[in-house]
Amino acid sequence: MKKVLFFIMAMAAFVNANAFKFDGIDLNGTQQQVAREISVRGYVYDQVSNSLKGNCHGMEIFLSMDTENVQDRSKIGRLIVDIPMSDAKAYENSVVVFNVIYHRIASTSGNITYSVDDDGTVMELVKTNKGIQLVYVTPNYKAKK
């Protein structure tokens, strides 16, 4: 439980330092720049999850990028961070931490959306069967119609 809370607080500190960065990676860069930065940090492709697996502050996480639904083909639309957690209170603890750091702009069943930057970037906090998911939605994202 303490490890989960520490991880969430560490993630929030990373994001809060520059709202449009994840683990020091500028998500506003091109797809190639973001992919290069992610691989430099030791994330590797995991066939089972069809995502990039890596370690962030002592916890194994999985990253995937939405590069299909974008207005600018050289950018990413969304960065999806899956954080496996077996602790039942992980979601509630995440909500408490992010409520302090960000401005909540929407809430639906199981999803909470926060404004994280003036450029329109939002972060969706989603409860999943395996833990929590942070979905960073960039201004380049173009929702499917």
pLDDT tens by residue, 63-112: 998 888 888 888 888 999 999 987 778 888 888 888 888 889 999 887 99
Contact 85, 40 (CB under 8 A): no
pLDDT band, very low/low/confident/very high, at 14 (cuts 50, 70, 90): very low
85: left (phi over 0), alpha (psi -120 to 50) or beta: beta
Which ranges constitute the DSSP H helices of the chain? 2-17, 31-40, 90-101
Task: Give the whole-angstrom CA distance, residue 80 versus residue 135.
Answer: 4
pLDDT at 115 over 70: yes
Q: What is the pLDDT of residue 6?
A: 56
| Averaged pLDDT of the chain | 81
Between 14-18, 91-95, 101-105, 126-130, the lowest mean confidence (pLDDT) is in: 14-18
pLDDT at 31 over 70: yes
pTM of the model: 0.80
CA dihedral of residues 112, 79, 142, 32 (deg, nearest 10):
170
